Structure 1
Amino acid sequence: MKHILITGGAGFIGSNLTEYFLGKGYRVTCLDNFATGHRYNIQPFLTHENYQLIEGDIRDFETCQKAVQGVDYVLHQAALGSVPRSIKDPQTSNEVNVTGFLNMLTAARDEKVHRFVYAASSSTYGDSENLPKVEDIIGKPLSPYAITKYVNELYADIFSKTYGMSCIGLRYFNVFGRRQDPNEAYAAVIPLFVKQFMNHESPVINGTGDYSRDFTYIDNVIQMNELTMLTENPGAINTVYNTAVGDRTTLNDLIGYLKNYLSAYDPQIASVEVIHGPNRQGDIPHSLATIEKAKQLLGYQPTHTIDKGLKEAVKWYWENLK
């Protein structure tokens, strides 16, 4: 039985990965300090015979050492996300996302973990205006958060070259889906809009609504984590991959989708007005990934387009937020 450590395992992505890999027969250890993760996300797993919870912080090296003991794979999801959060408090973002990452990387190296897969970010593309985003063409970062995620890639590259580690980064593009928290201070746009529509409150769009994103459903992200964790193709290791669907949706179009799907549950939502506010500092106008590298080297085939993913997400929110 292979053993996976999932850092940030009580968070949105981490808890979905946990559920999936427990279902596949893996032994799973979760490391989380519950700064942004939630105990209710992992409640169903606590009695599972192959599940272990370590409550601790990746900023503490001894905790990282304890967490990697006997582990075959690390899926490193723990981080302080959000561009606005990093602008407000760059020091804490750096401590968690850089120091914490280096702690985990070093502990995994010392334990001789077979594969270290980590959550990178599309924010690394920064001010590059190239569309679609290709892995080897990036610009200058536009936020402290983006800097921290790029530093992760640099450290992983150095550790692979210097210590012979097997590291793969996944540049997540606007991941959404079940268990994504609409109530946290820096909630992502989709769960936030869903909650506001369900409460008949007007969502606020930053700017004109023409900004676009490559919204990526959680099941596509799970697939990429599994493919990169298990690949033994030498050409597919020690690199980074766009983790996306390869299509972009404007915020105005996103509002249209959400109104349409939510109105099937509550017709009044169709008449909820939308408010436009100023653009958000540190935001890039457009984000669209090419996923050709992941297709060619890993056999990646996204299962969920934006509309299919939103239908499933809306159903989950309606059943769990009401």
Structure 2
Amino acid sequence: MDAPDTPPHRAASEPPSADQSTAHDLVEYPPGDLRGDRVLVTGGAGFIGSHIAHALAPHAEVTVYDSLVSGNRSNVPAGAEFVEADVRDGDALERAVDAADVVFHEAAMVSVGQSVEEPTESHDVTAEATLSVLEAARRSEARVVLASSAAIYGQPEATPIPESAAKTPTSPYGLDKLAADHYARLYHDLYGLETVALRYFNVYGPGQTPGEYAGVISVFVEQALAGEPITVEGDGEQTRDFVYVGDVVRANLRAATTDAVGEAYNVATGESISIRRLAERIQELSDADSPIVHRDARPGDIRHSVAETERARDRLGFEPAVSVSDGLARTVEWFRDR
């Protein structure tokens, strides 16, 4: 049966709850050249997608597309249109993309761990749905800014990791993100579609609620504020490149307006911190009595990861503005207020 022209799950948004509004108001984002544009954010009720939607809602015509499997309805900004649908719903997705000038494609499997448990669903939601977005965008000539991931690199041969590094993903999530990353650039080369792939490193910040697949910072903060032990996997000397969600939004806005399309860019700080030091800093910021305890390391865990960021700076004009110290303080404050 053919779907109706206007899906029944499309509605104007309701005002966000107070705690979610606070999460999105911590950083001011310039609208750039997107003022008045029709913007679609898939996964726009989730962590990163909702920050993008909130940044643009005062300046552009924003539609949030989300199944609410992992996203939250309260994350949709006031004034935005909301489509409750799965990215695997081809008809709904095509209608939404067809009505957009720019698509920020954030919808994907939640995490590496979940993809290991559900590899087929990971492929459908992350790789196959991205192809559907790109194909719909090709027909409507919409620009696509794609959320890729540092997971595509796998175990790096050396650090810092440039965009040209070997791609040896160690999980279905990483492999599916790599397929999406390649498809984005292939669609530019073959069809002239304006695409940009952003390879996020470890994103954190207000609004990242803890859970089974949540980022380590949100888990540590919630443990500390609850007075529970902060659990570090392994010896804690493994290092990561953590990038604040507000900076990730800025990278997306740059990607949506740049002339340097058909490229992939690392989105990171270019600096690393050990997981043990991260736990200690959260312990300090939380004024917590929570001890730091160690448990068994995860099999195959990457030892060191830090990005090379020159390409994003030189071609995209993106540089992170929030230090890990400031970002952690903002994140702890949000969790405490919540």
Same fold by TM-score, threshold 0.5 exceeded?
A: yes
Q: 1:8 aligns with which of 43, 63, 70?
A: 43
What is the root-mean-square deviation in Å for CA atoms of aligned residues?
1.1
Question: Residue 125 of structure 2 aligns to a residue in which SS?
Answer: helix
Q: Distance in 2 between matches of 1:15 and 1:282?
A: 31
Q: Distance in 2 between matches of 1:281 and 1:27?
A: 45
Amino acid at match of 2:91: E
Task: Check whether the contact 2:156–2:305 (CA below 8 A) recurs between aligned residues.
Answer: no
Task: Check whether the contact 1:90–1:144 (CA below 8 A) recurs between aligned residues.
Answer: yes
2:307 corresponds in structure 1 to 289
Q: Distance in 2 between matches of 1:107 and 1:206?
A: 42
Task: Check whether the contact 2:147–2:198 (CA below 8 A) recurs between aligned residues.
Answer: yes
2:10 corresponds in structure 1 to none
Asked whether 1:27 is paired with 2:45, we answer no
Task: Check whether the contact 2:43–2:107 (CA below 8 A) recurs between aligned residues.
Answer: yes
1:266 corresponds in structure 2 to none
Task: Check whether the contact 1:84–1:282 (CA below 8 A) recurs between aligned residues.
Answer: no
Question: Which has more helix, going by share of residues?
Answer: 1
**Structure 2 unaligned runs (5+)?**
1-35
1:93 corresponds in structure 2 to 122
Task: Check whether the contact 1:121–1:170 (CA below 8 A) recurs between aligned residues.
Answer: yes
Asked whether 1:220 is paired with 2:247, we answer yes
Q: 1:61 aligns with which of 83, 90, 105?
A: 90
Query: Can you list the C-alpha shifts for 1:247-278, whole angstroms capped at 9, x where unaligned?
Result: 00100110111011111xxxxx1x31122112
Q: How does 1:127-146 map to 2 (within 5 A)?
A: 127-146=155-174
Amino acid at match of 1:146: G
* Structure-1-length-normalised TM-score: 0.92
Change (3 A) 1:288 1:63: same
1:306 corresponds in structure 2 to 324
Asked whether 1:229 is paired with 2:256, we answer yes
Q: Distance in 2 between matches of 1:38 and 1:280?
A: 29
Question: Residue 146 of structure 2 aligns to a residue in which SS?
Answer: strand
Q: Distance in 1 between matches of 2:167 and 2:97?
A: 34
Q: Distance in 2 between matches of 1:11 and 1:2?
A: 22
Q: How does 1:76-225 map to 2 (within 5 A)?
A: 76-113=105-142, 115-182=143-210, 184-225=211-252
* Structure-2-length-normalised TM-score: 0.87
Q: Distance in 1 between matches of 2:166 and 2:139?
A: 31
Q: Distance in 2 between matches of 1:63 and 1:130?
A: 43
Query: Can you list the C-alpha shifts for 1:94-119, whole angstroms capped at 9, x where unaligned?
Result: 11001111111111111111x11010
Give the deviation of 1:282 after TM superposition. Answer: 4.3
Asked whether 1:258 is paired with 2:243, we answer no
Q: Distance in 2 between matches of 1:191 and 1:201?
A: 13
Give the deviation of 1:144 after TM superposition. Answer: 0.9
Q: Distance in 2 between matches of 1:316 and 1:282?
A: 32
Give the deviation of 1:81 after TM superposition. Answer: 2.5
Task: Check whether the contact 1:204–1:275 (CA below 8 A) recurs between aligned residues.
Answer: yes
Instruction: Between 271-280 and 98-107, report the one with greater CA deviation.
Output: 271-280
Q: Distance in 1 between matches of 2:57 and 2:303?
A: 38
Give the deviation of 1:203 after TM superposition. Answer: 2.2
Task: Check whether the contact 1:196–1:203 (CA below 8 A) recurs between aligned residues.
Answer: yes
Segments of 4+ moved more than 2 angstroms: none
1:317 corresponds in structure 2 to 335
Q: Distance in 2 between matches of 1:53 and 1:254?
A: 36
Query: Can you list the C-alpha shifts for 1:49-80, whole angstroms capped at 9, x where unaligned?
Result: xx100110111111111111221100000011
Aligned length: 303
Q: 1:244 aligns with which of 250, 268, 272?
A: 268
Q: Distance in 1 between matches of 2:109 and 2:301?
A: 17
Q: Distance in 1 between matches of 2:300 and 2:141?
A: 38
Instruction: Between 63-72 and 8-17, report the one with greater CA deviation.
Output: 63-72
